[in-house]
Structure 1
Amino acid sequence: MTNPLPLILDGDPGTDDLLTWMWALAVPDRVKVLGICTVHGNVALSRTTENALALLDHLNAPVIPVHAGEKAPLGRAEPPAGDGAFAESGLGALVLAPATRKPASYDAVGWMADTLRSHPPRSVTICATGPLTNLARLLERAPDAFARIGHLAVMGGSCDLLPPNHVRRGNITEWAEFNFYMDPLAAQQVLNSGIPITLMPLDLTHQLVSTPDRLARARALPRYGEEVALMLDAAAHLDRPKFGANGAFQHDMTVLATLLHPELFEGEQSQVTIATTGVGSGACLRVPDPAGAVRVMLRVPDPAAFFDRFFQALGEP
């Protein structure tokens, strides 16, 4: 039996981040969560941090440190307006009790640097499910620590017209995916840093939909079923009118799934460039390149298997 993978979770919860973190906490034999870092994104930093702490309380999780990170994108004092996908709370229809614990620190970047330096080089994996501001600041402030990252799994970007209706390339603008739109400079810097990266863009995540039968499976879970169903369905009110979807697309969980079950996805090594200014800010240009450092996942041959793995991890009977 192999040792659990040392893992840092970095995100902007947001219900899809929380689903990812629930999955990670449900498989301690596969991953060891070293800590959680929060960043601006779906809602303000104070709210994303509160949501992370509240989820840990709700799950009665072990004491996992939560570190508050960057409150605004590179070069800005405040983040741009989001799309309100998960309401003012970041939780959609889900209601969690106020957190009883406080952040372990308000310096996520410093904590990541210390953690990476205290582990063997290339032994720690990071799952990034929000804007990449924390990672860009780590690259800027502690390049030696950044270089010790073993693998970075990122949810972000889009490469082509998106299914199922193929009329737009982005979910926040016509051109851009939300995470990269919120900090395009950070995305450009991190994706071109040279470390091993797996990118899970909208082209992939739009193949994973919380259909009514999948919501029914969620509600039937022995624990937290109603909460999981609410989170799986949280963005359906946007995804249906924009894309003609039969439910909500599932984005952030793919970063953990590609680590636990890489056989679920197909992709190719690429170079990725992010537009950082103008009307297309946040848009992706992908060039296939066997020598590229970014593996872009583009296909889910069996979407049902993805949901099977998720529900099994959460204890489906």
Structure 2
Amino acid sequence: MKRLNLLFLFLILSLKTVAQQPVPLILDTDIGPDYDDVGAMAVLHALADRGEVRPLAVISCNKHELVVPTIDVLNTWFGRPNLPTGAPKGPGVTDGAWQKWPEMLVAKYPHRIRSTAEAPDAVATYRQILARQPDRSVTIVTIGFLTNLADLLESKPDQFSKLTGRQLVEKKVKHLVSMAGLFPKGREFNVYKDSLAAERAFNQWPTPVILSGFEIGREVKTGPRLLADATLQSPVKDVFALCMPKAKEDRNGRMSWDQTAVLVAIRGAAPYYTLRRGRMTVNGGTNGWQDDPGGPHAYLVEAMPVAQVTEVIEKLMMHPKTAKAK
């Protein structure tokens, strides 16, 4: 516990300023059930082009056949077609998008991976990448189900590392940022869709965890400014243009749960949010919270006005294709 306290203190201090070096980061996404993941990937690539983050991989936690092709479309459009990927090979969630926007993207934009089944095993991708990184250097940000992380923790030594999954995570990962939960108590999609994995992951994770709860992204509604930019052409804009008119709740913009997690994973909580430290509990897909100054988890609390956070995120979502990607 003392070691974890020191790690969390270091994390809190480091979250106060933008990192001077690009953050080595793995994004784990269920991209498909909702379209805020598309905005989150745009934020990732925009900040990568600014030198704030070094993407190591974009991995799927969703077994739907169009999830990895959708990841491939966005990585290719933003000029990073060779980013490693992966998908669950064992039990997991298979969820598509009712608005059929993944179908639209893969029909319109170039990509090489034709189905999620073609992607490597997610755990193998994690283990190979983590084994190559400096100790306590990698940020993992999850904006979907916790399937891959639970499986990673329980993985055995292999050709990439002699360490178990838990040992490898403890050695190589700086911290985990996760869009998960509703605080201080509630039932949230990413947790209850694979509740057993969420319980395993959060109970066993050996590094500090930052949680962007449902209540955070619910207030950040993005899309109108993106659609109003007549000069911008992008797959991100195409998805929002297709989906926003189809739901009454999205008329003023789509709630931006996943973008908040990616923003914090790269830039840190401050000045956007403060942190409340304790422990998240998961039981049957519902999460609770126990305040504890020495706890392993912390959830985000609003600090900056929502309108300002929204503007920051939406501007990043409007990031154009760079010269190298054209």
Q: CA–CA distance in 1 between the matches of 2:111 and 2:105?
A: 18
Aligned to 1:256: 262
- Residue by residue over 1:181-224, the C-alpha shift from the partner in whole angstroms, topping out at 9 and shown as x without a partner, is 111111112222231111011121112123xxx51344317533
SS of 1:66's equivalent in the other structure is coil
* Kept in 2: contact 1:68–1:108 (CA 8 A): yes
**Residues 225/219 of structure 1: CA separation in 2 closer, same or farther (3 Å cut):** farther
The answer to whether the aligner puts 1:189 opposite 2:206 as a matched pair is no
Aligned to 1:220: 229
Match of 2:307 among 300, 304, 309: 304
Aligned to 1:275: 283
Letter of the structure 2 residue corresponding to residue 154 of structure 1? S
Percent identity, aligned pairs only, is 23
Q: CA–CA distance in 1 between the matches of 2:73 and 2:98?
A: 16
How many equivalent pairs are there?
A: 281
Match of 2:145 among 131, 134, 144: 131
Match of 1:109 among 123, 128, 134: 123
Aligned to 1:76: none
Aligned to 2:31: 13
Shift of 1:273: 0.7
Q: CA–CA distance in 2 between the matches of 1:253 and 1:132?
A: 17
Q: CA–CA distance in 1 between the matches of 2:228 and 2:235?
A: 5
**Residues 300/239 of structure 1: CA separation in 2 closer, same or farther (3 Å cut):** farther
Aligned to 2:111: 100
Higher RCO (Cα < 8 Å, 6 or more apart): 2
Letter of the structure 2 residue corresponding to residue 32 of structure 1? R
Letter of the structure 2 residue corresponding to residue 121 of structure 1? D
Letter of the structure 2 residue corresponding to residue 303 of structure 1? V
SS of 2:66's equivalent in the other structure is helix
**Residues 208/26 of structure 1: CA separation in 2 closer, same or farther (3 Å cut):** same
Please give the residue correspondences for 1:141-180 in structure 2 after superposition, counting only pairs within 5 Å.
Answer: 141=155, 142-147=165-170, 148-159=172-183, 169=186, 176-180=187-191
**Residues 247/233 of structure 1: CA separation in 2 closer, same or farther (3 Å cut):** farther
- Residue by residue over 1:254-298, the C-alpha shift from the partner in whole angstroms, topping out at 9 and shown as x without a partner, is 11111315211123012111112xxxxx11101111111111113
**Residues 221/130 of structure 1: CA separation in 2 closer, same or farther (3 Å cut):** farther
* Kept in 1: contact 2:70–2:106 (CA 8 A): no
Match of 1:265 among 269, 273, 282: 273
Shift of 1:2: 2.5
Match of 1:67 among 72, 86, 96: 86
Structure 1 unaligned blocks of 5 or more? 74-78, 162-168, 170-175, 277-281
Please give the residue correspondences for 1:47-58 in structure 2 after superposition, counting only pairs within 5 Å.
Answer: 47-58=66-77
SS of 1:63's equivalent in the other structure is coil
Shift of 1:134: 0.4
Structure 2 unaligned blocks of 5 or more? 1-18, 156-164, 321-326
Shift of 1:228: 2.9
**Residues 232/310 of structure 1: CA separation in 2 closer, same or farther (3 Å cut):** farther
Letter of the structure 2 residue corresponding to residue 39 of structure 1? C
Q: CA–CA distance in 1 between the matches of 2:79 and 2:297?
A: 36
Please give the residue correspondences for 1:232-247 in structure 2 after superposition, counting only pairs within 5 Å.
Answer: 234=243, 240=249, 246-247=252-253
| Higher helix proportion | 2
Q: CA–CA distance in 2 between the matches of 1:160 and 1:288?
A: 9
Q: CA–CA distance in 1 between the matches of 2:192 and 2:248?
A: 17
Aligned to 2:216: 204
Q: CA–CA distance in 2 between the matches of 1:157 and 1:235?
A: 24
The alignment yields a C-alpha RMSD, in angstroms, of 3.0
Aligned to 1:285: 288
Match of 1:3 among 17, 21, 26: 21
SS of 1:191's equivalent in the other structure is helix
